[in-house]
Amino acid sequence: MKTIARLSVLAAAFAVFALPASAQQITLRVHQFLPAPAPVPSKFIAPWAKKIEEDSKGRIKVELYPSMQLGGTPPQLFDQVKDGVVDIIWTLPGYTPGRFPKSEAFELPFISGNAEQNSQAAWEYYEKNLKDEYKDVKVIAIHTHGPGLIHAKGEGVRKLEDMKGIKVRGPSRVVNKLITALGATPVGMPVPAMPEALSKGVIDGTVVPWEVTTPLRIAELVNTHTTFAGNRSLYVAFFIFAMNKAKYDGLPDDLKKVIDDNSGMVASRWVGKVMDEGDIPGLEAAKKRGNTIVALDAAETKRWKEAAQKVQAEWIDEMKGKGIDGKQLVDDVRALVAKYAGPES
C-alpha cells in the first residue's frame, strides 16, 4: 500500500509538471505603498486584480501587498518591478528625482485638470512621449491624482505671502521647486511619512489631493485647506501602474491579451476616476472636523500663477540641457489636457 501511495504522489506531481504552460496558474504579486482601504488600492487595484482573475478563468492569481509589505521603501518600487523582485507595482516616478524627466511635465504648476481628465491625457502623452522612459517595464496605466491643494496647521495659507517661511512637504522634484518659488521651504518625503512629520512639527503643512487625506487622517493634523480658482490644478503628481517585462513576455498569448485588455486608456481613466471620487470623503472629513476651507478667488489665484511661471521656464531650460524639447512637451500636455478638460478658465 505504501508503494501504491508513493506512486500516486509521484503521478500527481508528474501530472502538474506535464501540464502545458498555458494551463498552469500564474501568480502576480502587486506591491504598493498605501494602506489597503485607501481609494486606489480598494477601488482600483483590488477590482482590477479580481477582473484579471475572472478574465483569465482563474489561470492568473493576483496577490495584493499594500503598505510596502514585501519590504523596501516607496522610492524603490520601480526597481523592484524592473528587476523582478515583484511582478506589478503602483508608484510615483517622481519618488526617484530626475530619473523620468519627460514625465515631470504633468507635474508643472497650473497645467493639469482633474484626475479623470488628466489620466486620459496622460495615457496619450505616454504613447507619444514616454515609451522610452518606461521601456524596461510593461505599463498598465498612467494617471495623476486630483487637484493638489495645501493643508496646513494654524491659520494656514490665505494669501501668497503666507507661504513665506513655512515648511511644506512635497512629493517630487518639480513640486518642491514650485513650493520654493511660492516662498516656502520644501521637505521631500513619500506620502506614508506625512502624518508623523505633521504631528512632530517637522513640517507645517503638506500638498496632497483630498483623496489621500482620509486614509492618513490628515484632517486631524491640520486646521486649514487651501484651494484655487479655475479648472487647472496648483499641481498634480504623476503615477504609474506597471508590470515586470519578463513576467509579461513569459505569458502565453491569451493571458497577455487579458493583461492588454485591462491596460491602457481604459485602466488609466478608471484609476483617474477613482482618484476624483476619493477626493469627496476627504473634503467631507475636513468639514466635519470644522477645519477651515480657504477658497482663493481668481485674482489671488492669478498671483500664484504668476509666481509659479518661473518653475515652468526653468524646467524647459533644464530639459534643453538634457537634449529634450521641454517646450514641446509642455505644449503637448496643455493640448491633451484641453482635449479632456476644455479651455483653461
Measured CA to CA, the distance from residue 315 to residue 106 in angstroms comes to 12
User: Can you say whether the dihedral through the CA atoms of 30, 43, 171, 125 is positive or negative?
Assistant: positive
* Confidence (pLDDT) at 13: 43
Query: Which residue spans of the chain are classified as CATH 3.40.190.170?
Result: 26-145+237-278, 149-235+282-341
Measured CA to CA, the distance from residue 114 to residue 231 in angstroms comes to 8
Give 10-residue mean pLDDT values along the chain (345 residues). Answer: 42 44 82 96 98 98 98 98 98 95 97 98 98 98 98 97 97 96 96 95 97 94 98 97 98 98 98 97 97 98 98 98 98 98 96
Distances (CA, A) of 83 to 72, 79, 88, 222, 245: 13, 6, 11, 39, 9
No. of helices (H) and no. of strands (E), the chain? 13, 11
Measured CA to CA, the distance from residue 118 to residue 155 in angstroms comes to 31
Helices assigned H by DSSP within the chain: 2-18, 39, 46-55, 77-82, 115-125, 173-181, 194-199, 210-213, 245-249, 253-261, 265-288, 298-321, 326-341
Measured CA to CA, the distance from residue 104 to residue 144 in angstroms comes to 11
CA dihedral 92, 97, 98, 103 (to 10 degrees): 20
* Confidence (pLDDT) at 2: 41
Q: What is the pTM of this model?
A: 0.90
Say whether domain 149-235+282-341 belongs to CATH 2.40.110.10.
no
Task: Report the CATH superfamily, name and number, of domain 26-145+237-278.
Answer: Bacterial extracellular solute-binding protein, family 7 (3.40.190.170)
Q: Work out the burial of residue 84: count CB atoms within 10 Å of its CB; fewer than 13 is exposed, 13-18 middle, 19 or more buried.
A: exposed
Please report, in angstroms and rounded to a whole number, the separation of the first and last CA atoms in the chain: 82
* Confidence (pLDDT) at 179: 98
**Each residue of 156-192: b (16+ CB within 10 Å) or e?**
bbeebebbeebbbbbbbbbbbbbbbbbebbbbbbbbb
**Each residue of 196-222: b (16+ CB within 10 Å) or e?**
ebbeeeebbbbbbbbbbbbbbebbebb
| Contact status, residue 212 vs residue 191, Cβ threshold 8 Å | yes
* Confidence (pLDDT) at 222: 98
Residues facing 64 on adjacent strands = 30
